[in-house]
């Protein structure tokens, strides 16, 4: 069965900290995605990756970076966390771009 695992369900950090969110998939998928989900705004794409060491900006990349050193792992980095980055973060993966994406359970991140 498809499995996307996010390292933390809940995370509390302070303004200015560097924050790492980790995502691992066990399906040998080429494509991985990071979204944030906010009330009234739906899911918005931050970054995605279609291959190891490859990354593309999504719709709201500002304040974020990503790393994909291995196929199964995609990390989201908040370089200097700010309160407006408090949100639910969802990781997803898919085998090919236009096939259904499989989601992790999400990380609810609070920046104080």
Partner 1 sequence: EDKVVQSPLSLVVHEGDTVTLNCSYEVTNFRSLLWYKQEKKAPTFLFMLTSSGIEKKSGRLSSILDKKELFSILNITATQTGDSAVYLCAANFGNEKLTFGTGTRLTIIP
Task: Return the biggest CA–CA distance within the chain.
Answer: 38
End-to-end CA distance of the chain: 37
Q: Which of 12, 15, 20, 41 binds partner 1 (CB under 8 A)?
A: 41
Cα angle 11, 61, 29 (rounded to 5 degrees) comes to 75
Q: Which of 16, 52, 70, 97 binds partner 1 (CB under 8 A)?
A: 97
Burial pattern 61-91, b for ≥16 Cβ within 10 A else e, equals eeebebbbeeebebbbebeebeeebbbebbb
48 binds partner 1 (CB under 8 A): yes
81 binds partner 1 (CB under 8 A): no
- Between 41 and 112, whose beta carbon lies closer to partner 1? 41
51 binds partner 1 (CB under 8 A): no
- Between 68 and 81, whose beta carbon lies closer to partner 1? 68
Site residues (CB under 8 A) for partner 1? 4, 31, 33, 35, 40-45, 48, 50, 56, 58, 90, 97-106
């Amino acid at each position: 069965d498809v499995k996307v695992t996010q390292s933390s369900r809940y995370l509390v950090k302070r303004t200015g900290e560097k924050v790492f969110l980790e995502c691992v998939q066990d399906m040998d998928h080429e494509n991985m995605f990071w979204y944030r989900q906010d009330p009234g705004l739906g899911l918005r794409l931050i970054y995605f990756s279609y291959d190891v060491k490859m990354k593309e900006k999504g719709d709201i990349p500002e304040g974020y970076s990503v790393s994909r050193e291995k196929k199964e792992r995609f990390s989201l980095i908040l370089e200097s966390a700010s309160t407006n980055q408090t949100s639910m973060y969802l990781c997803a993966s898919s085998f090919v771009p236009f096939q259904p994406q499989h989601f992790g359970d999400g990380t609810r991140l609070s920046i104080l």
